[in-house]
Chain A
Amino acid sequence: MAEIGFRGGNKPHLLYVRSTRSYNIDRIGGLVPQDWRYSAIDIYELEGRDLGDVDVIMLSGMHDQIFLKSIEPKLVDYLASGGHFLINGHIIVPWLPCLSPFKAVSPKPFTNWMIRPAEPGGYFGRMDFENFHRHEGILGQYSRGYADAPEGAQWLCLIGGPTADGTIHEGPVDWVWRMPGGGKVFMHNGDHIEQFCSDPRHDPNLFQDILKALVFSDEPAAHHKPYRPTQTGIA
């Protein structure tokens, strides 16, 4: 582990950014692998925080996008220097150049809200796609749409499907992108990825798989040729 040379020392360091009251805001320390470093700060402390020892910045589904946009150059520098992001939420104000506004898909037919694999890789590869995204059996709690991913991104999971006029409207609900020469951005276009199959007693563990793939894997590889399931009909 030490050979990899983490920014936070001999083990990866996740910094959880506390913002507006969010699901499980006080639970994250119990979800991050215990052999990682974990710390949490209020979102507005990000502006003055040295990020040189942080490997993953995690944003909850409820974060102040106006504020993050105001410190965009600092966040881009962090990414360019090899730091990673794990982002939840509906982006309305894209606060990194690689982010795009959220697009809802039609909830009808209900199968549009079934999450399907694209290139799940080490991030979602151990998940049972029939069930992992349901909350007490309910569809939609995981996500209701997607956001366009930057060129070269690995589409991990898909959402969407047929619309009333017969066209197909689907896109990547979860994607990961590597800034050339820099760190990665994992984007979950839903509320809280850590709500699903991510309790430490859950095996396989989605949250920990995502973190490990983000930090340890080369996915997406620098010259990744992305798989695109539908090249036509995407709104």
Chain B
Amino acid sequence: MIEKMKLLNKYPILFALLIPVLLLNSCAEKESILITSDDYHNSVDKITLIMVHDIFSPPVASRIYAYPNIAAYEIIVQKDSAYRSLTGQLEGLTAIPKADDQTTNFGLAALIAHMDVSKSLIFSEEKVESYRDSLYQIWSAKNKTEFETAKAYGLKVSDHIKNWYDGDLYKQTRTMPKFTIDTDDPSRWQPTPPAYMDGIEPHWNKIRSFVLDSAAQFKPLPPPPYSLEKDSDFYKELLEVYEISQKITEEGDSSEEVVIARFWDCNPYVSVTRGHLMFATKKITPGAHWIGIVKIACKKSNADFNKTVFAYTKTSIGIFDAFISCWDEKYRSNLIRPETLIHQNIDENWKPILQTPPFPEYSSGHSVVSGSAATILTHIFGDDFSFTDDTELAYGLPVRFFTSFNKAAQEAAISRMYGGIHYRFAIEIGLRQGIEVGELVVEKLAMNK
């Protein structure tokens, strides 16, 4: 930018000569750039694909969804009085710069800001750039002035949002100590097969939340006390995981429970060994699945651009805080996974239907996130909202039909027990925990007028 300014100062005459030409060109193309909700869906989908490629853990992925949506949302509220700014409602968010020109195409600026904030958060920037540049070319050809104005504004807001997220302690948590495995206490989490990865994001509860007053605001009840006594609650729950898994494995791949478990797997990095070959199969995260459901709901309800941005934003805020709430509990209770205990005490050769993800068991992340997202979506689109969920189609999984968001959340939650990676209490309490986060978001955030 500075370079350009210098250029202007140095060659005022040259620019004076150029300006009429530019004006001439723009006069010839008066057509306005029309931005639809599909454009926004496409941008979100593109970021999802890149996230899968780049490999982000579920909590980190939730952060990559949230901030770009908020950037877009804050732009559309500048123009659309139906929505209210989140300034002052989200911790540390100050008012974004006003647009200099009220004729700015705010939808276009919102989309540009979404792409630009997203780009800063993912790794493979060149993938966003090539997508962005192809759009830029189209828009520029259609109406250069309108495009340049919107772009300048979008990027300005993007910078504002980047400054804001920079203070959320994400970077600082990178240098904090890794999670230390306690090998002496049998109830404590241990790394799980096959990759025995370190526990991920042990400091995620230190990340600045959006709406929660603290990571522990919805601290769930502690899990049943660890015990391997046959009549203890804990052992019964452990045995239930094993027995259900045995039963549905016998029934085979077509069993409804196996289908459900696989459908909601949402594991961004599954380490696969075939023969001598090791590789990762990568899917979307739990948060990304619910972002996919936002798209389905928007499309089914013919949501306009602004409502689309609103729905994504509110849901991604709920998902983000749900992860903070859940991760706070995970590293508090630091509970061992069923797989480890089943290997040690019940069946050495047992393998869960899903690969156990690398962090403590309690509470179930997918349950918390699903509870939160479904609560917010129900608030936006209503409880009586049936939909066909084809989010996982790209990953070789079938479509499923749900009569409501809450039904989908309940299935997502119980899928973790079918998958052999969670106890029932982690699911039931986790779902409750998520609903509480979602309700808080609904209650506290005044977004619609």
Chains A and B bind each other: no
Taking Cβ atoms with an 8 Å cutoff, the residues of B that contact A are: none
